[in-house]
């Protein structure tokens, strides 16, 4: 469960998105990751508290329907599907850019088609095949980040790869200061950082399928959040400390460039390879998670019953194929967007940030559901071992943080269109809900 959650959370939002976040706010991006990490902690503790009493598969979508209303559950499920199609698309775009490190003339659509077909086949074979593939993908990512943290410490403190001259910590403040982008830049970066953390809630889906889930909920939720925060904040700290933030190019990943710039080209090549597998991992996790959500919608008769049909190995074939085709079509943006957008990092931001608002919907419903959960289940919480501290004030803090992030996305010209796309999607799905279920109460 922990590896699947790590696979879903550690992806291009960190490896590729860090280029834009560092550009907008400089070294203070570390505070963005800390603030977003606090919001993540609150969301996951709220989810864990509810799951402990009701470890049901589907988790946040089920809680949305039960504690808020059918419309909330409907939008949560579809937002999860939309989010992972868009994130899968951004992962495929990222792979194309990573491969350009070795083959500058390789068309992005070629790598996209190969990757999507490969992952689709892996998901169609069996759940076990998906799990094993995702385990190794996630393991590569975790080991790479650990390697980067150790190597980064050697470079910063002992000058490894820098002719024995320790780099020290001066890059954190000597290039325009620590808080270079001001409040506006800090807010702009927060949207990509929030998006980078999204996906960890997939742990709620997997936990319902585990044997004896309650002790695993406590152990998994505690360890996964601490590891995510360590990996994210630690790796970004290494990047902005090793190399001047204002001299990092905006093409490719700062993870690769950081080591290449200090002369450790072998390490850079190894990391670039792992970034390819990391992006494939995120896409793989997205196909699995969203196909199961589509399967759940089929069980609820929200979509065709054909989406509930399983293969002999228990795989919802049509659901997997539909999500894979959606990602494949989305990956064609690799061909279309360069006609209008020249900067490849901007292409990634446009696509990836389109998933942020739909990706926030599960977080919103978890926080709101938890408030109502507390009132309804008050009598069962006396000896609860995994309660969210300072609730309801912690819930309100996280909700305000998410709303503030959306406001900054509307202000930022690079993410404005993307967040509007998210609003349009939610409006369309709300219209479909009322058009197809006019006799049912939604709130």
Rounded average pLDDT over 241-263: 73
Residue 152 near residue 241, CB atoms below 8 Å: yes
Name the residue among 232, 243, 236 with its Cα closest to residue 168.
Answer: 243
Q: Find out if CATH 3.30.1490.20 is the number for domain 2-436.
A: no
Q: Residue 256 pLDDT > 90, yes or no?
A: no
Task: Give the list of residues 6+ apart from residue 241 with CB closer than 8 angstroms, or none.
Answer: 152, 156, 167, 169, 171, 172
Q: Dihedral sign, CA of 169, 172, 175, 177? A: negative
Q: Name the residue ranges covered by the structural domains of the chain.
A: 2-436
- For the ranges 216-230, 301-315, 318-332, the lowest mean pLDDT is seen at 216-230
The model's pTM: 0.86
Of residues 96 and 372, more confidently modeled: 372
Q: How confident is the model at residue 427 (pLDDT cuts 50, 70, 90)?
A: very high
- Burial, 314: exposed, middle or buried (Cβ in 10 Å; 0-12, 13-18, 19+)? exposed
CA distance 46 to 38: 12
Confidence of residue 379 (pLDDT cuts 50, 70, 90): confident
Say what the pLDDT of residue 333 is: 74
Q: What would the pLDDT profile of 146-179 be if each residue is shown by its tens digit?
A: 888 888 888 899 988 778 889 899 989 988 888 8
Distance CA 32, CA 388 (A): 22
394, 177 contact by CB (below 8 A): no
Per-residue pLDDT band at 442 (split at 50, 70, 90): very low
**Three-class secondary structure of residue 211 per DSSP:** coil
pLDDT of residue 96: 79
State pLDDT tens for residues 215-231. Answer: 777 777 777 778 888 88
What pLDDT does 186 receive?
93
Is pLDDT larger for residue 237 or for residue 202? 237
Q: How far apart are CA 429 and CA 75, in angstroms?
A: 7
Distance between CA atoms of residues 370 and 67, nearest Å: 8
Q: Is the pLDDT of residue 443 over 50?
A: no
* Digit-coded pLDDT (tens) for 353-372: 888 899 899 899 999 999 99
Burial category of 273 from C-beta neighbours within 10 Å (exposed 0-12, middle 13-18, buried 19 and up): middle
């Amino acid at each position: 469960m922990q590896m699947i959650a790590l696979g879903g959370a550690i992806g291009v939002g960190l490896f590729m998105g860090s280029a834009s976040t560092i550009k907008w706010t400089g070294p203070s991006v570390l505070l963005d990751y800390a603030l977003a990490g606090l919001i993540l902690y609150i969301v996951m503790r709220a989810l864990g508290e509810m799951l402990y009493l009701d470890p049901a598969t589907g988790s946040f979508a089920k809680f949305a329907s039960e504690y808020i209303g059918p419309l909330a559950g409907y939008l949560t499920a579809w937002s999860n599907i939309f989010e992972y199609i868009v994130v899968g698309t951004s992962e495929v775009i990222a792979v194309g850019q990573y491969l350009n490190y070795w083959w500058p003339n390789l068309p992005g659509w070629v790598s996209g088609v190969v990757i999507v077909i490969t992952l689709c086949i892996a998901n169609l074979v069996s759940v076990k095949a998906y799990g094993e593939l995702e385990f190794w993908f996630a393991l590569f990512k975790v080991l790479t980040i650990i390697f980067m943290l150790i190597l980064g410490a050697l470079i910063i403190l002992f000058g490894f790869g820098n002719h024995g001259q320790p780099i020290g910590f001066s890059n954190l403040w000597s290039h325009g200061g620590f808080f270079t982008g001001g409040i506006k830049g800090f807010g702009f970066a927060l949207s990509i950082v929030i998006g980078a953390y999204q996906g960890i809630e997939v742990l709620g889906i997997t936990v319902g399928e585990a044997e004896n889930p309650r002790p695993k909920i406590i152990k998994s939720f505690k360890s996964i959040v601490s590891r995510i925060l360590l990996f994210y904040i630690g790796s970004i700290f290494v990047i902005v400390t090793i190399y001047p933030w204002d001299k990092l190019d905006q093409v490719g990943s700062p993870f690769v460039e950081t080591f290449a710039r200090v002369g450790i080209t072998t390490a850079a090549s190894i990391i670039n390879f792992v970034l390819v597998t990391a992006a494939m991992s995120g896409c793989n996790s997205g196909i699995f998670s969203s196909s199961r959500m589509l399967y759940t919608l089929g069980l609820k008769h929200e979509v065709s019953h054909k989406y509930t049909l399983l293969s002999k190995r228990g795989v919802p074939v049509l659901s997997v194929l539909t999500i894979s085709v959606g990602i494949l079509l989305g990956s064609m943006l690799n061909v279309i967007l360069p006609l209008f957008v020249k900067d490849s990092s901007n292409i990634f931001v446009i696509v990836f940030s389109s998933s942020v608002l739909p990706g926030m919907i599960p977080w919103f419903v978890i926080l709101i559901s938890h408030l109502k959960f507390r009132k309804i289940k008050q009598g069962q919480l006396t000896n609860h071992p995994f309660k969210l501290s300072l609730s309801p004030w912690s819930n309100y803090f996280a909700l305000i943080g998410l709303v503030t992030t959306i406001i900054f996305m509307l202000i930022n010209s690079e993410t404005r269109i993307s967040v509007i796309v998210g609003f349009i999607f939610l409006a369309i799905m709300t219209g479909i809900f009322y058009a197809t279920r006019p006799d049912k109460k939604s709130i």
